[in-house]
Homo-oligomer: A and B are copies of this chain.
Amino acid sequence: MHPDTAVPAGGTLSIVGIGPGHRDHATPTAVQAIAEAELVVGYSTYIKLVRDLIAGKEVFRTGMTEEIGRARFAVERARSGAKVAVISSGDAGVYGMASLIFQVLEESGWREGQSPQVRLLPGMTALDSCGSLLGAPLGHDFCAISLSDLLTPWPVIVRRIEAAAAADFVIGLYNPASGRRTRQIVETQAIIRRHRTGTTPVGLVKSAYRRQQRVVLTDLDTFLEYEIGMNTTVIIGSSQTYVFEGRMVTPRGYTNKYAWSGAAREGQRPGHSLVVDNERTAREVG
């Protein structure tokens, strides 16, 4: 295709994040985009999650590692005038199909204003859904790192793990392991362990809000003893994260500044920068 090709009107390409998979956690906009589509494109597992929405529609489903083929098929059909929904679990923008779709649109010569109209419908990413099953692990600064080195050089990933560990981010790991790919999570544990204590809380969530859901709350020294696979998200606490009644909690820092009465501590002012007293070793500072 070339930019000057005559373009049929009316194609739409909706890139849809369906959230964790259960309808109760999908947005109305995402559900509507799927319902309105003529063609639904997705990884087989995700197509199953929306099967009640796609009766009577054309469906294009392929396996893992066939993302380019899915993206090209979706773009070609949408350019030709079809109403297409490309679905990802979680948020399609987060390690999902959205950026690949834009690359394929670029490759095809598409320009804004041509068919298709491109719509991005955000969803809840795995960090949000999995975090809610663990408690409140994302209460302060966090990062997301994919451990898959199928498309990214492993040294680049290692550099990010090292930086995140050293700067005390809560760390969410996507794609931690697969049947063939098991070395990365072991190396990741070793890197982070050099910066954090072995009792740092670690949460493992498999298939959040799906029938196969499994939630484990453990720690940095022992989490490798549990099953970790393609559908597991791993959340590793910061130095401030602790466990309370079976929940991971990463404080925002309120007790650095306030007493439980709500009154500001001595020397602190609401609405002003935290004044750090070097002799104080409150749990939350840092």
Contact = CB atoms under 8 A, between A and B. Distances in A.
Nearest to A256: B151
Given A24-B28, A112-B245, A180-B271, A254 B100 contact: yes
Contacts of A17: 128
A50 B25 CA distance: 18
**Most chain B Cβ neighbours within 10 Å, of A68, A104, A246, A270:** A68
Interface stretch (A155-163, A185-193, A219-227): A155-163
Contacts of A100: 139, 251-252, 254
A10 to B, nearest CB: 19
Q: Copy number of this protein in the oligomer?
A: 2
Interface of A: 17, 19, 23-29, 64-69, 72, 91, 93-96, 98-107, 110-112, 120-125, 127-129, 131-133, 135-146, 149-157, 159-160, 162-164, 166-169, 180-181, 244-247, 249-258, 260, 262, 270-274, 276, 284-286
A160 B285 CA distance: 14
A143 B144 contact: yes
B25 A26 contact: no
